[in-house]
């Protein structure tokens, strides 16, 4: 277990006596909700979102509120913390500024506290964070990498590329696979003779795949 993983456990344990609002009524926010509930037994009282079409809806039984409602909740609950679930830097920076302007200072950005999409998905799959489950999860990710390489190699053959041809790989429509590719970019590029791996579905040859039941679109173009 790395120091970062240990820090995550300590961070999540700090929330056990507090009530949490998750800013971002998204699938990633719902994944964090599952981790809070199932693994750390942390109470999430609401989601908050700027999208008014989501207000009043419920995600796994938790209501989505407006920023105005969040201010009211913050004024009535003493030990309240906000976790910003956005994984995009420009977005979570904007939300941080918005919370500051709302007078809410007890917030944390999920991505900077060791809660990236890969780890969240792993926590849910393995139902906890221990040395054993992390080792298993690393092997799980290695399996995804092998499958990704296999799919791209198949596309090379289907495109009649020469063995020595270098390519550009594109990927789209799956954040989980995108994180795996980003984390293992050099390995994938070396195995497939790729000059680059980019987020795109606009290659010479594009194909939809299931990688261990994760739907994703890959594209390849001769470099």
Q: How far is CA 20 from CA 45, 47, 77, 118, in A?
A: 6, 9, 10, 22
Query: Going by C-beta distance under 8 Å and a sequence separation of 6 or more, which residues neighbour residue 195?
Result: 166, 167, 168, 189, 223
Q: 130 pLDDT exceeds 60?
A: no
Q: Which two tokens stand for residue 4?
A: 């970062």
What value does the mean pLDDT of the chain take?
A: 84
Q: What would the pLDDT profile of 50-71 be if each residue is shown by its tens digit?
A: 999 999 999 999 999 999 999 9
Half-sphere exposure for 215 (CA within 13 Å, toward CB) = 2
CA distance 73 to 184: 42
Taking alpha carbons only, the member of 153, 144, 158 closest to residue 213 is 144
CA distance 27 to 120: 11
Work out the percent of the chain whose per-residue pLDDT is above 70. Answer: 81
Q: What would the pLDDT profile of 13-59 be if each residue is shown by its tens digit?
A: 777 778 999 999 988 888 888 878 876 778 999 999 999 999 999 99
User: Which pLDDT score is estimated for 4?
Assistant: 42
Q: Which two tokens stand for residue 214?
A: 């994760």
CB 171 within 8 A of CB 199: yes
CB 73 within 8 A of CB 65: yes
């Amino acid at each position: 277990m790395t120091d970062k993983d240990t820090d995550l456990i300590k961070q999540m344990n700090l929330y056990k006596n507090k009530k949490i609002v998750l800013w971002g009524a998204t699938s990633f926010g719902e994944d964090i909700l599952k981790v809070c509930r199932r693994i750390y037994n942390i109470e999430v009282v609401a989601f908050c979102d700027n999208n008014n079409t989501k207000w009043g809806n419920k995600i796994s039984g938790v209501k989505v509120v407006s920023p105005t409602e969040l201010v009211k909740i913050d004024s009535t609950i003493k030990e309240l913390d906000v976790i910003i679930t956005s994984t995009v830097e420009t977005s979570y920076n904007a939300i941080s500024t918005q919370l500051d302007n709302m007078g809410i200072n007890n917030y944390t950005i999920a991505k900077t506290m060791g809660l990236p999409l890969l780890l969240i998905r792993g926590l849910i799959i393995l139902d906890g964070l221990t040395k054993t489950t992390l080792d298993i999860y690393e092997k799980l990710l290695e399996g995804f990498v092998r499958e990704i390489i296999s799919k791209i190699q198949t596309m090379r053959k289907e495109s009649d590329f020469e063995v020595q041809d270098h390519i550009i790989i594109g990927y789209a429509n799956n954040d989980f696979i995108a994180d795996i590719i980003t984390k293992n970019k050099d390995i994938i590029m070396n195995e497939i003779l790729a000059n680059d791996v980019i987020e795109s579905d606009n290659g010479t040859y594009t194909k939809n795949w299931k990688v261990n039941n994760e739907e994703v679109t890959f594209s390849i173009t001769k470099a």
